[in-house]
Amino acid sequence: MDHCHCCSSAFQQVSRRTVLKRAMGLAATALAANMFPLEMLFQSRAQAASNAGKTLVVVFQRGGNDGLNTIVPYSDPQYYVMRPRSTNGGIGILPPGSGDGSGLDLTGSGFAMHPSLLPLHGLYTSNRLAVLPAAGFAGSTQSHFTDQDTIEHGFPEQRDGWLNRYLAAVPAAGSSTLRAAAIGDDVAKSLRGTVLVPSMTDVASFSFARLGSSKAALEANLRAMYAQDPASSTTNPARSSVHALGPELFNRVAAIEGIGAASPQNGAAYPNSTFGREMRDLAHIIRSGLGLEVATVDIGGWDTHDDQGAGGAAANRQAGRLADFSGGIRAFVDDLGPLMNNVVVMTCTEFGRTVRQNASGGTDHGKASAWFLVGGSVKGGVYKGVAGWPSSLTEANLDEGRYIRPTVEFRDIFADVLVKHFGASTAELGAVLPGHVHTPVELFV
């Protein structure tokens, strides 16, 4: 790897400060050895943190995925009352073994997967995929934006992201060039807060190389302008965040320029979609050893108020999104191969949808929905929560007569990941999810 670009003085300065602030540890890579004075690399923590080499990828299904047609309670006849079978004109997913468009059985659970989740079904049968059919939280509002914020902030009253609080509370186990990244047009709210986290799309084009002979002078000018004391250059209220951003940009560009283009391994076949490319880039960044610990990726298109469709010949909006979603995750898992032992992918969505389908072949905003985890030491299986899945989807068993009631709280899922995957201490957990009493979901071995 060629890291000449990153060795400008401003880059070293920022990185050094970052390293010191996070009380850095060992894990001296060749990259770090090039960039940092040796003595800094040996200011290790007493023992290696269990977040060493670990990565969490949070995939957010924006729009409210219909959990009921994702993980389908086909053994409940009432499901087909609320949602007639697709062969009868409804959006009900057919039971396993009913021909075209049948669900994929999650053997022994009474549930089946939407047929478009085929790429994930193999992960389930090999006991690697955790399925939570009724994840959510009490007090959800059925507003996309409010409920997304609650999940990403951890609580309605918090104003910064739970993942950003993690970055602030828990030091990195080693030096990292890119500890966190939001893949997308902007920084996901879960990653916003006191720690500056970069956002990026399309790793291959994140470069200023085409500036040619002007690059050095322009970068030097830009860094010098951003390096001025914000308070003596402008009165703008956003000046501090603005001034941090310029050097951050050039540092990140240098890091990304250094790893080249993605080259998927193990025959991984990513969907030809934005989500597919973003998952491919993420796998590339993880494999390139930049120290990526937390990343977010978004996938949209879940707000299926109409033409939601079912499976097979009845496929429509949701089936296409699920195919992209499951194909991207499966390719990512295949691509990373054994590296997945240190990587957890968790999927979220702000809410599920109304149990009864509406008159336009869709579903409206609901409450609990299906979340997934795969990788690391995640235990495969279906997690129905302590309260369990309703015996039958009659109105009497539903929340307000129309919604799936959440049985696994999302904060408990977060806490399981923090404790079991990142090895967070009780104090650290308290800093990330203040006031939350952790009821373990036991998602990990």
Partner 1 sequence: MALVKDEQNSMLSKIAESMWLRPGRISVCVALSLWAMQGLYISVYAVYAHEGGTHPVSGSPSASRHSLLKPVRPVDSTLPGVKEGATISPASESGLKPSKKKKAKVTIKTPATESQRSSVIEQTAPAQTKMEESTSGTKPASSIPFGAPAMATMMNGSAAMAAASPSPGSAIAAAAPGALASSVVGGPSTPSNKSIQRLSAGIPGLTRVISTPLPPETIATPAPPLDPPTSGLPAAPANWFGYHVLNRLTFGGTPNQLNTVSHMTAAQARDWATGYMKEQLGLDPAQPWPTNLHSASLLPPANPIVDTDTDLRLAAAQGAWKKDDPEPTVLKPELQQVQDHDLIRKTYSRRQLLEKMVYFWDNHFNTDYRSHFRGQYEVYENQAFRAQAYGRFVDLLIASGKSPAMMVYLNTDVNKKENPNENYAREVLELHTLGVDEQGHPAGYTQADINEAAKAFTGWTVPEGSAPGFRFVSSRHSPGTKTVLGQSVAFDGSGPTEGERVLQILAGHPSTARHLAKKLCEYFVSEAPSSALITEVASVFSDSGGDIRKVLIAIVTSPDFNNVANYRSLVKTPLEYVVGLYRNLGVWSSQEPIRRRLTVAGQGLFEMPPPTGYKEKSDHWLNTHVLFHETAMAYEATIPGFGSTVRFGSDTSAGQTRLWLRNLGLRTESEVLGFLLNLTTDRVATATEYQIYLTTLRSGGGTFNLDNSGTEAALDRTLASMLTNPRYLYQ
| Binding-site ranges for partner 1 (CB under 8 A) | 62-63, 141-146, 149-150, 156-157, 182, 184-187, 192, 198-202, 206, 208, 210-212, 214, 217-218, 221-222, 224-226, 228, 231-239, 241-243, 245-246, 248-249, 252-253, 300-301, 303, 305-307, 356-362, 364-365
Is 17 or 337 the residue whose CB approaches partner 1 more closely?
Answer: 17
Helix (H) or strand (E) holding 13: helix 9-21
Tokens of residue 4, six digits: 């000449």
Is 96 or 328 the residue whose CB approaches partner 1 more closely?
Answer: 328
**Smallest separation, CB 197 to partner 1 (Å):** 8
Q: Count Cβ neighbours within 10 Å for each residue of 7-45 and write b for 16 or more, e otherwise.
A: ebebbeebbeebbeebebbbbbbebbeebbeeebbeeee
Is 111 or 403 the residue whose CB approaches partner 1 more closely?
Answer: 403
**Smallest separation, CB 83 to partner 1 (Å):** 12
What radius of gyration do the chain's Cα atoms show? Answer: 23
Determine the Cα–Cα distance for residues 54 and 64; give it in Å rounded to an integer: 28
**Smallest separation, CB 222 to partner 1 (Å):** 5
**Smallest separation, CB 213 to partner 1 (Å):** 8
Is 115 or 136 the residue whose CB approaches partner 1 more closely?
Answer: 136
Is 118 or 245 the residue whose CB approaches partner 1 more closely?
Answer: 245
Is 115 or 198 the residue whose CB approaches partner 1 more closely?
Answer: 198
Is 305 or 436 the residue whose CB approaches partner 1 more closely?
Answer: 305
**Smallest separation, CB 209 to partner 1 (Å):** 10
Determine the Cα–Cα distance for residues 421 and 375; give it in Å rounded to an integer: 10
How crowded is residue 277: how many other Cβ atoms within 10 Å of its Cβ? Answer: 19
- Count of helices and strands (H, E) across the chain: 13, 12
CA dihedral 33, 35, 40, 42 (to 10 degrees): -10
**Smallest separation, CB 34 to partner 1 (Å):** 22
Tokens of residue 40, six digits: 């800094």
Determine the Cα–Cα distance for residues 357 and 90; give it in Å rounded to an integer: 8
**Smallest separation, CB 230 to partner 1 (Å):** 8
Nearest residue to 206 (alpha-carbon basis) of 235, 248, 238, 171: 248
